Chain A
């Protein structure tokens, strides 16, 4: 053996991020961001309508978790699954079922502590994901759309008309988590902010970890060149099944948290408009990227709030529909990458001139 085969050449700088997808995060910047999120309530809680802004933040944290985990399936792995909202609802019901029993609502099974039952949410969602994924993930394209859409409707139909433990059309009313008592804070909305932030940070870290890992690389390879990926020894079904359950786990957790936060869960959670809203978040921000769903969620939540103030009900979804179509047609990679590309072209003029 000659010596030059043992020493691997270093990849050129512009390819390094591709050859090392599991490269480290920018630690100082991340720490700064987390710190900003931690101290934000101190400033916000002094404002006049702080409850409104804190509620928006909680919605952002929870929806961002759902959008990110859906993006993992939709964008990173390229599986066109529409079942994410169903996993969200399954999470909500799983925890409500065991915590919502009371004298006025005797429908549910038990009245255990929500601190215990909230862990049923991610587990139940992941289990359902495996059961649905086994027949579904062998198939491609339109079949996946059909099965996941059918699954969502079957779940909705079953919850609305099935056994009375699910509370039928009324749904269930799980108790709120006593976060304020646990954290020793006197304002429950601030306490909920921190709880949602914790869910957001943990899920985001887990999803970041997957995207920038060899597994994430394998998933992207599977999306872009399935035959090649398989011939390189990637076990397609097992990897996809694992990812599907992983993504459903965090969505279920978000759903469980949301049901305790709102103190209610009903079949209306499984509405098609909610699905379109989440899809808009992913598409606007840029699917298949790490930052896309997070940025998209923030943009859509702000836009949604603004539309609620300025337009009457039906127009909201028309605006989102038009936005979704325009983005898909004009900037298929999402607004973030699109703006980045414009900026690069814009500055290139100066670089060439100078």
Chain B
């Protein structure tokens, strides 16, 4: 019973953070139609920016907010430098994949030069924990879940209710028609890139206290986010959130009952099986209504 509760709570925590990571990827895929292989590097950048700002003596919350904004700036700069020039050209799908891999390697090695290879310790949002039915629940993990849910709900609201969100959805459904309706497509791209990078930054700030913060720490979150995105059906925000929970629960249960070293092989096996049976993912929808 204790183990079950432990696994359930772990699933909720993992699921909400994977949701944050993966929604950023899915937004970009839906609107701009490229795979951002530098998403993990942006996650790392968010973590390091927060660490540095606090190291300089800023209080925690402003430091985190600034770090998230900074990650958005890094993401937009990366987009302008490496993605914008090839977008829409012949063979752009492969080209954007390679150029974002290159951008990711540059960001990660810049972090290596600036901050060194050693792990940095990020403080938790709220110290302390509470024990419920023999399961240790840290206040930090509660805050992580609450923040993730709030942010994802906010994102849904932004996409569904606001004018900018409407523009993003229009662009992701039919770019040419959106352009004809006088939607500034280039600016929408920048908004999407900024929001996506900011979400990666939030994930970096929230997750690095639990995991580790070093220059290569973004690889696993990127891989997990990719799994979630594909499982949820590419470009579908709602599907991505459900898939994030599913992957989070699976991973948490495997860790509690089988041990941590099994989580990746089993996840990999599952994604192979799912893709063999349903290549469009669990929640894959017709192309026209992805966001």
Q: Is A228 an interface residue (CB 8 A)?
A: no
Q: Determine whether the beta carbon of A318 is less than 8 Å from that of B276.
A: no
A135 to B277, CA, bound (A): 10
- Nearest-Cβ distance from residue A286 to partner chain B, whole angstroms: 13
Q: Pick the contact of B82: A80, A139, A158, A325 (CB < 8 A).
A: A325
User: Which chain A residue has the least Cβ–Cβ distance from B101?
Assistant: A276
- Nearest-Cβ distance from residue A105 to partner chain B, whole angstroms: 23
- Nearest-Cβ distance from residue B128 to partner chain A, whole angstroms: 32
A280 to B95, CA, bound (A): 12
A149 to B35, CA, bound (A): 13
Q: Is B112 an interface residue (CB 8 A)?
A: yes
A107 to B90, CA, bound (A): 51
**With a CB–CB cut-off of 8 A, which chain B residues contact A279?**
98, 101
Q: Is A147 an interface residue (CB 8 A)?
A: yes
Q: Pick the contact of B102: A80, A150, A161, A276 (CB < 8 A).
A: A276
Q: Is A1 an interface residue (CB 8 A)?
A: no
Q: Pick the contact of B112: A153, A161, A314, A325 (CB < 8 A).
A: A314
Most buried by B among A283, A314, A322: A314
Q: Is A142 an interface residue (CB 8 A)?
A: yes
Known: A324-B101, A329-B85, A329-B86. A141 touches B275 (CB 8 A): no
Q: Is B254 an interface residue (CB 8 A)?
A: no
Q: Is A320 an interface residue (CB 8 A)?
A: yes
A147 to B109, CA, bound (A): 25
**With a CB–CB cut-off of 8 A, which chain A residues contact B230?**
142-143, 146
User: Which chain A residue has the least Cβ–Cβ distance from B78?
Assistant: A325
Q: Determine whether the beta carbon of A322 is less than 8 Å from that of B101.
A: no
A153 to B91, CA, bound (A): 27
User: Which chain A residue has the least Cβ–Cβ distance from B269?
Assistant: A154
- Nearest-Cβ distance from residue A288 to partner chain B, whole angstroms: 10
**With a CB–CB cut-off of 8 A, which chain A residues contact B35?**
142, 145
Q: Determine whether the beta carbon of A157 is less than 8 Å from that of B265.
A: yes
Q: Which of B109-162 contact A (CB under 8 A)?
A: 109-110, 112-113
Q: Determine whether the beta carbon of B109 is less than 8 Å from that of A321.
A: yes
A322 to B230, CA, bound (A): 29
**With a CB–CB cut-off of 8 A, which chain B residues contact A157?**
261, 264-265
Q: Is B105 an interface residue (CB 8 A)?
A: yes
A324 to B81, CA, bound (A): 13
A selection of 17 A-B contacts at a CB cut-off of 8 Å is: A138-B279, A139-B275, A146-B230, A146-B271, A154-B265, A279-B98, A314-B113, A317-B105, A317-B109, A318-B105, A318-B110, A325-B99, A325-B106, A328-B98, A329-B82, A329-B86, A332-B86
- With A279-B101, A329-B95 given, name 13 new contacts (CB 8 A): A135-B275, A142-B35, A142-B234, A143-B230, A143-B279, A147-B272, A317-B105, A321-B102, A324-B98, A325-B106, A328-B95, A329-B82, A332-B86
The chain A residues found within 8 Å of chain B, CB to CB, are 78, 80, 135, 138-139, 141-143, 145-147, 149-151, 153-154, 157-158, 161-162, 272-273, 276, 279, 283, 312-315, 317-318, 320-322, 324-325, 328-329, 332
